[in-house]
Structure 1
Amino acid sequence: MAKKGIRDRAAPLAHGLAWFYALLLVFPLYFIIVSAFKDNLAIFNSPLSPPSSLSVSHFVDAFQRVELGRALWNSTFITVSAELLTLALAIPASYALARSRGRIAAWCERFFALGFLIPSFAALVPTVLLAIHLQLFQTRAFLIIFLPAGALPLSVILLTQFMRAIPSDLEESAVMDGAGRIRILLRIYLPLTMPGIITIAILNFLSFWNEYLFALILGGPDPAVRTVQVALPNLVSQTNTEYGVLLAGALITMIPVYLVYILLQRRMESALLEGAVKS
């Protein structure tokens, strides 16, 4: 009874802290949205007040000044391609590690874990030299190849843990029915580990879409190759930056992230519910 009383008294405080934290997260988003429709004078004089008009001129200017439409296409193409390549490599590798036994499998898993110990800056110079040697420097193709290399350690380690949670009896029953390894992976492991795969997909999408340093150096400033994260800083001027246009461009680059997160989150929730019903 005493524990229940303490829990009841702590519940309002926990709810209040949760709402306070939610407001802290929503506040910057609100500021970006309202400022995208204001000029510099209105942003500095009344930063939190709603805009006086909903003109889309700032969004049009952002698209025209830095060719934001082409940059959005480049980011989408690179992110989706790198995402598919990461999953195509991580899923079979995770399945092999999850169902393998012995020292070789343990060492392979430790080898993937070593990827967490390599700082991104330490890999910058060797990566640039490799891109030049392959004649792929400042191309989209090299970014598509490079980004999965940085995402594979986390993807493989997490997916391996998800696949290890699947009972081996299911695989043994499928083998007795004549199913091969590929069929077992596609028909048993993929559906049951879908929440983990979607979690990995969300994390990788955020990482690939928001990548700036390697996208700037390996992709370059060429409008035909640069991503939105590289194009957006070009809206900043040393003399007269129009912050309304800058924030309008930032808001445009945020929309795909929120859409993908909402869609994949719903898919993950449905996969979790389906797994709960089946179990």
Structure 2
Amino acid sequence: MATLKRRRFTPAVTGSYVLVVLYALTMVIPLYWLLISAFKSQLDTVDQPFLPTFSSGIDHFTEVWNLLSMGEAMLNSLYITAVSLVLTIVVAVPAAYALARSRGRIATVFERVYAMGFLIPGFAALVPTLLLAIELKLFYTREFMILYLPASAQPLAVILLTQFMRTVPAELEESATIDGAGRFRILRSVYLPLTIPGIATVSILNFIAFWNEYLYTLVIVGINPELRTVQVALPTLQGNQGITDYALVCAGTVISVLPVFLVYAVLNRRMENALVQGAVKG
């Protein structure tokens, strides 16, 4: 029987473990503080910031839910995010397929044009986007955000999906072509099943970006309680004379991040598979 070799804790290995633990703490401690603060009184959040007293129970959650009409805000966020995400995938998948199966200079030019989208800061396009919304008579509407968000997400979505689709063996497409399959059938039956991890990765990244969008939603949709999203509603918890109940804000933040955690819990396995496949093939 082969004996297991013990890992030597050299200074480099020990230092790596220390850095990993420190990085984990920088991620866990803020989340821990956020969660326990949502169940504490305003006084306890200041006097005992890291002690889980649970002095207020779930009162802050019910207060935030009623004060901000959180149910309506959640539905608005879900509506904008879900429809925008579907449109992003519907547009990005065919574009990525066309770039992945093309080998000419034109395809290279188009791919570089998509990549140039990363060079444009989001706030730089705010004024032209606002003027466009007014011109289309979609100012103060959720529908314009449903058009804007997929457009802003195309560079990342197309570039990532193109790389995933290029890993599909050419022999599979040739076999499907010999069997009489057309382009759309090849895309649906060959490429889509093999790029599900990539689509899951793009979906998670874009869901987080769409759900947390604040600046454009504030400017385009506004603060109308019937139309505003969760991210626009939360800052209105600012109290009188600039005094903010941080326990109340923490409760609202916990409510707002729950959908992100649920989506990640559903799709994280697909995303992990995509990362592993990319590492093996790379």
Give the TM-score normalised by structure 2: 0.91
For residue 49 of structure 1, give the secondary structure of its aligned residue in structure 2.
Answer: coil
Q: Which residue of 2 aligns with 1:231?
A: 233
2:175 alignment partner, one of 173, 178, 190 = 173
Answer whether contact 1:36 1:58 (CA < 8 A) is retained. yes
Instruction: Give the total of aligned pairs.
Output: 273
Cα distance, 1:101 vs structure 2 = 2.3
Asked whether the 8 Å contact 1:86–1:148 carries over to 2, the reply is yes
Q: Secondary structure at the match of 1:225?
A: coil
Correspondence for 2:198 among 186, 196, 199: 196
Whole-angstrom distance in 1 between the partners of 2:44 and 2:276: 48
Cα distance in structure 1, aligned partners of 2:215 and 2:17: 39
What amino acid sits opposite 1:226 in the alignment?
R
Residue 107 of structure 1, CA deviation: 1.4
CA distance in 2, matches of 1:136, 1:255: 30
Matched with 2:144 is 142
Matched, 1:266 2:237: no
Matched, 1:123 2:117: no
Q: Which amino acid aligns with 1:62?
A: V
The residue number in structure 1 matching 2:212 is 210
Cα deviation, residue 262, structure 1: 1.3
The answer to whether the 8 Å contact 2:96/2:165 transfers is yes
Partner in structure 2 of residue 59 of structure 1: 61
Secondary structure class of the residue paired with 1:123? helix
Task: Spell out, residue by residue over 1:22-53, the C-alpha distance to the aligned partner (whole angstroms, 9 max, x if none).
Answer: 11101011111111111221111110111244
CA RMSD of aligned residues (A): 2.2
**Per-residue deviation, 1:216:** 0.3
After TM superposition, give the deviation of residue 82 of structure 1 in Å: 0.4
Deviates more, 1:47-56 or 1:92-101: 47-56
Gaps of 5+ in 1: none
Question: Could you say which residue in structure 2 is the equivalent of 1:24?
Answer: 26
Deviations 1:200-235 (A, max 9, x none): 111101110111000100111111111100000001
Distance 2:276 2:125 in 1: 41
SS class of match (1:128)? helix
Q: 1:250 aligns with which of 232, 249, 253?
A: 253
What amino acid is the match of 1:204?
A: N
Counterpart in the other structure of 1:104: 106
Residue 43 of structure 2: SS of its match in structure 1?
helix
Contact 1:194–1:268 at 8 Å: present in 2 too? no
Can you list the C-alpha shifts for 1:100-155, whole angstroms capped at 9, x where unaligned?
A: 12222111112211211212122111111111111111111100100011100011
Matches of 2:275 and 2:250, distance apart in 1: 37
Instruction: State the secondary structure of the residue aligned to 1:233.
Output: helix
Instruction: Kindly state the Cα deviation for residue 273 of structure 1 after the two structures are TM-superposed.
Output: 8.9
Deviations 1:74-95 (A, max 9, x none): 1111111100000000000000
Map of 2:16 onto structure 1:
14
Q: Percent identity?
A: 54
Q: Match for residue 47 of structure 1?
A: 49
In the TM superposition, what whole-angstrom CA distance separates every residue of 1:158-198 from its partner, at most 9, and x where no partner exists? 11111111111110110001111111111111111111111
Cα pair 2:70 2:230 within 8 Å, conserved = yes
SS of equivalent to 2:124 = coil
Q: Stretches of 4+ moved more than 4 A in 1?
A: 4-8, 269-275
Partners of 1:155 and 1:52 lie apart in 2 by: 42
User: How far is 1:54 from its partner?
Assistant: 5.8
Task: Name the counterpart of 2:187.
Answer: 185
For structure 2, list consecutive stretches of 5 or more residues without a partner in the other structure.
none
Q: Secondary structure at the match of 1:122?
A: helix
Distance 1:223 1:274 in 2: 45
Q: Distance in 2 between matches of 1:154 and 1:143?
A: 18
Q: CA deviation at 1:7?
A: 6.3
1:114 corresponds in structure 2 to: 116
